[in-house]
Structure formats: structure tokens, C-alpha cells
């Protein structure tokens, strides 16, 4: 029997796709006969007993503290054998790499993982290896960011250096607006990344490493809000034709090799522009937003986390490459107001062709304009037998749900300047 250590592997059911990732992974590891050591923050463990019951050993551990994780795992491994280390969360991947290295187990080199976690370091590394990248600068204050904007001209994007879920990401067209945008994006160290805006349709690439080589499982088309960088939908596989799919796939595979990624799952963002593929952010984990479930749906029989473990243990892994079905996710976003009514949600959510359906709104809920992926109000995820059918079906289903907002009261109209 093998033993798998999971860093950050528990989550309450209310977290939706995060909980589903943990549940799928634990079930797939258990089916392979692996003994499971589950660690996470104490609150996550306490709120997900259905997950902790699947583990053989459970310990409270902060997966964002790589040094503490290495200390704990080293002490644990002195008494009990550990064969593999897995992490599903963005903020746990550094700790997983450090622990695997400390225990002499297969894993991504810690320096490679730290590089991809820092957007500017990753971009400059890729640029140095000949990949197209936006022009960028890591800025220490709003004045530096404004000066850089004036230097490069046009639209720029300001974002946190190592964030996720589109939090703090903002397009800025006027350099005079940069100091305020910088203040919203800067991290605890007081820095933020500013880069030139890339014009073109956005995609993400999902895959798994097998015997040290990247194997792309899907190219996903993104729907992104025109007002922000919030992702409103995903369609898998992307309806872009064989030539474009092959171009994106080849560029991502070359980039992962240049970044020295050798194990696990990957989720790489990119754009298709008039000049070719421009790579975006690289993640050494599965995609969020139910992408993991969509990947398994379009490849019947694929078990992402079981295959990941097999690769770490040196077992042969031959993942599929040609999707056999289609999947799509569409997210619920509404403007600011108060929910007055919701119609047809129950009818839509009960359909047999849905992989997931979530809605956090109720009559009386107060809403606001969505500014990050963490603020969306729900999702519909469909799975279809035909690859081409998924996107149109998801669009129709979301459009059929009627979420009505109450009109503002007269005094509020006057106060807001509405006539």
C-alpha cells in the first residue's frame, strides 16, 4: 500500500468546485489503494467531515506556510512512509514542491514552482526563451506605474503579482487613473504588476504531465466580461478548429518544458492574436470553475487525480488527447440591486445534462457589480454528447433563468442622480 500526503485537501461543500475537486481526488486515490494523509487548515477540516472520513490520517496544517509544511512532513515521514505529495490549491503548490523535494519524492522543482507563482518572473523567463509576452514592469508605487503606462502607451493591465481569480485585475486606459488602480492591486509588499493589454480571444489549456512530458487534454474558450476581467463562461473543447488548437497546444507544451514543469496537472492561459499565441499566466494545478469536472466529462473514464498519482509513483500513464464529448460553464452575474424574483432556476437546475448547478441568490438578496471570479452568484455546467452542442445549450439555459431586481426607491433614485 502506498501513502499519499495531500496539502490543502479539504473544503466545505459550500465551496462548490473546490469541494468537488477534493472529493473526486480522495475517491480516486482511495480506489487505487493509497493510504491518504489529509492536511488543511483546521476550519476546513472541521467543516468537511465527509472528506476527512475518506482519509486514514488527518492533521491541521497551514498549506501556505511551506517551511512549516516541510517541518511537519519530515517529522511525519520519520515514523510513517510517504510515497507522493499532492496539492490542489494555488496557494499550496509551493509547499507541495518543497515537501516533495525535502523527502526525496518526485515533484516539480521548488524553484520552478516559485517562478510560475510570480507572474513577472514567469513572464520574463518565457520571454528569455523566445515566447511572446506582454511588455511589463513590477512597480513599487503608483507614480512608477503611471510613468510606465505613459512610456508604453495604449491600454495596460494592473494586477497583483501572485494573486488568482482575477482579484485586483483592472484595465487602465488613462494614465491619470493609474495611481488609484495601482493602490487597489498592490500586495502586502506594496508592489503590483503592470503590463500591456493583449487584444485577442482568451483561452486556457488543461492537461497533465506524464513521464515528464505535458499532455494537453483540452483547450478551453473563455467568455470574459467587457467591463472587467471576470470570467463569465468556459466552453470545452474550444470551437477554434484543428490548426488553431494545434498552435495553442504546441506553444503551451514548449513553455512548460522551458519552465521545467515535470509533474502534476497544469492550467495555462493564453490569447490568440494576429501575431500568434501569446502566453498568459501558468498554473501547476487544475483549472478552477469546474474545469476539472469538464475535462473528465469530455474524456470518459479519465481520472485526473488518479492519473497524477500513477505518474508520481512511476506507473505508466497514457491520457487521452482527443475529446469525445463537450462541456460548458456559464456564470451568473447581475448588477447592483435587490433580488425581487427568480424564475425557472429549479426547472433548469434539475436537468439531467447538468454536471453542476449553483445559485447563491434568494429573493431579498442584495447584489453588487461583480469584480472578481470569487463574487459571481452561481453557475450552470452542462455536459453534452456532442462537442459542438455544449456552448449553445449552456447559453440557452442561462438565458432562460429570470432574475429580477427591484427598482430603486424614489429617494434612492434622487440620491443616485437617476431621473
> What pLDDT does 368 receive?
87
List, in order, residues 6 or more apart from 51 with CB less than 8 Å away. 9, 10, 11, 19, 22, 23, 26, 38
Instruction: Identify the CATH number of the domain defined by range 3-105.
Output: 3.40.50.20
Give the DSSP letter of residue 176. G
> What pLDDT does 111 receive?
98
- Using alpha carbons, select from 396, 340, 330, 347 the residue that is nearest to residue 367: 340
> What pLDDT does 225 receive?
78
* Residue 45: HSE in the Cβ half-sphere, 13 Å Cα cutoff: 18
Q: Where in the chain is the domain with CATH 3.30.1490.20?
A: 135-196
Q: Per 3-state DSSP, what percentage of the chain is helix, strand, and coil (rounded to 5)?
A: 35, 25, 35
The CATH classification of domain 135-196, taken from the options 3.40.50.300, 3.30.1490.20, 3.40.50.720, 3.30.1160.10: 3.30.1490.20
Cβ neighbour number for residue 234 with a 10 Å cutoff: 30
Q: What is the mean pLDDT of each run of 10 residues along the chain (419 residues)?
A: 97 95 98 97 97 97 98 98 97 98 98 94 94 90 90 88 67 88 83 89 97 97 80 95 97 98 97 94 95 98 98 96 95 92 97 97 91 86 97 97 81 34
Q: Which CATH architecture has domain 198-324?
A: 2-Layer Sandwich (3.30)
> What pLDDT does 410 receive?
52
Instruction: Label residue 176 left, alpha or beta by phi (over 0 means left) and psi (-120 to 50 means alpha).
Output: alpha
For the sheet with 35-40, list strands across it.
Answer: 57-60, 35-40, 3-7, 84-87
Return the residue matching grid coordinates 485585475. 169
Residues 328, 390: Cα–Cα separation, whole Å: 5
Q: Where in the chain is the domain with CATH 3.30.470.20?
A: 198-324, 329-419
> What pLDDT does 165 receive?
54
Q: What is the pTM of this model?
A: 0.90
Assigned CATH topology for domain 329-419: D-amino Acid Aminotransferase; Chain A, domain 1 (3.30.470)
Which set of grid coordinates corresponds to residue 128? Answer: 528569455
> What pLDDT does 413 receive?
35
Cβ neighbour number for residue 388 with a 10 Å cutoff: 12
Q: Where in the chain is the domain with CATH 3.40.50.20?
A: 3-105
236: exposed, middle or buried (Cβ count in 10 Å: 0-12, 13-18, 19+)? buried
Q: What are 328's strand-pairing partners? A: 235, 382
> What pLDDT does 163 receive?
59
Amino acid at each position: 500500500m502506498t501513502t499519499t500526503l495531500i496539502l490543502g485537501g479539504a473544503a466545505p461543500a459550500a465551496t462548490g468546485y473546490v469541494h468537488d475537486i477534493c472529493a473526486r481526488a480522495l475517491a480516486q486515490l482511495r480506489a487505487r489503494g493509497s493510504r491518504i494523509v489529509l492536511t488543511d487548515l483546521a476550519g476546513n477540516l472541521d467543516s468537511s467531515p465527509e472528506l476527512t472520513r475518506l482519509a486514514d490520517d488527518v492533521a491541521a496544517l497551514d498549506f501556505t506556510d511551506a517551511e512549516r509544511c516541510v517541518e511537519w512532513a519530515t517529522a511525519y515521514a520519520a515514523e510513517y512512509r510517504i510515497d507522493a505529495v499532492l496539492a490542489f490549491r494555488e496557494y499550496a503548490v509551493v509547499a507541495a514542491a518543497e515537501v516533495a523535494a525535502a523527502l526525496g519524492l518526485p515533484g516539480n522543482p521548488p524553484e520552478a514552482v516559485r517562478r510560475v507563482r510570480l507572474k513577472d518572473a514567469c513572464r520574463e523567463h518565457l520571454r528569455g526563451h523566445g515566447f511572446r509576452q506582454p511588455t511589463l514592469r513590477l512597480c513599487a508605487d503608483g507614480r512608477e506605474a503611471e510613468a510606465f503606462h505613459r512610456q508604453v502607451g495604449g491600454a495596460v493591465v494592473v494586477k497583483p503579482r501572485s494573486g488568482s481569480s482575477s482579484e485586483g485585475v483592472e484595465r487602465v486606459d488613462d494614465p491619470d487613473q493609474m495611481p488609484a488602480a495601482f493602490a487597489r492591486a498592490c500586495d502586502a509588499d506594496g508592489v503590483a504588476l503592470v503590463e500591456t493589454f493583449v487584444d485577442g480571444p482568451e483561452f486556457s489549456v488543461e492537461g497533465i504531465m506524464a513521464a515528464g512530458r505535458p499532455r494537453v487534454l483540452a483547450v478551453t474558450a473563455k467568455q470574459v466580461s467587457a467591463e472587467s476581467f471576470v470570467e463569465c463562461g468556459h466552453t470545452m473543447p474550444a470551437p477554434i478548429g484543428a490548426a488553431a488548437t494545434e498552435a495553442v497546444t504546441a506553444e503551451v507544451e514548449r513553455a512548460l518544458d522551458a519552465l521545467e514543469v515535470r509533474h502534476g496537472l497544469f492550467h495555462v492561459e493564453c490569447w490568440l492574436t494576429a501575431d500568434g499565441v501569446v502566453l498568459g499566466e501558468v498554473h501547476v494545478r487544475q483549472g478552477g470553475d469546474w474545469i476539472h469536472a469538464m475535462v473528465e466529462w469530455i474524456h470518459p473514464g479519465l481520472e485526473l487525480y488518479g492519473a497524477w498519482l500513477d505518474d508520481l509513483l512511476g506507473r505508466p500513464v497514457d491520457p487521452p488527447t482527443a475529446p469525445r464529448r463537450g462541456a460548458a460553464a456559464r456564470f451568473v452575474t447581475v448588477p447592483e440591486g435587490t433580488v425581487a424574483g427568480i424564475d425557472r432556476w429549479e426547472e433548469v437546475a434539475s436537468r439531467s445534462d447538468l454536471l453542476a448547478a449553483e445559485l447563491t441568490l434568494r429573493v431579498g438578496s442584495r447584489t453588487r457589480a461583480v469584480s472578481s471570479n470569487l463574487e459571481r452568484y452561481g453557475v450552470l455546467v452542462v455536459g453534452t454528447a456532442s462537442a459542438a452542442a455544449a456552448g449553445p445549450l449552456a447559453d440557452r439555459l442561462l438565458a432562460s433563468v429570470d432574475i429580477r431586481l427591484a427598482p430603486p426607491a424614489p429617494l434612492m433614485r434622487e440620491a443616485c442622480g437617476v431621473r
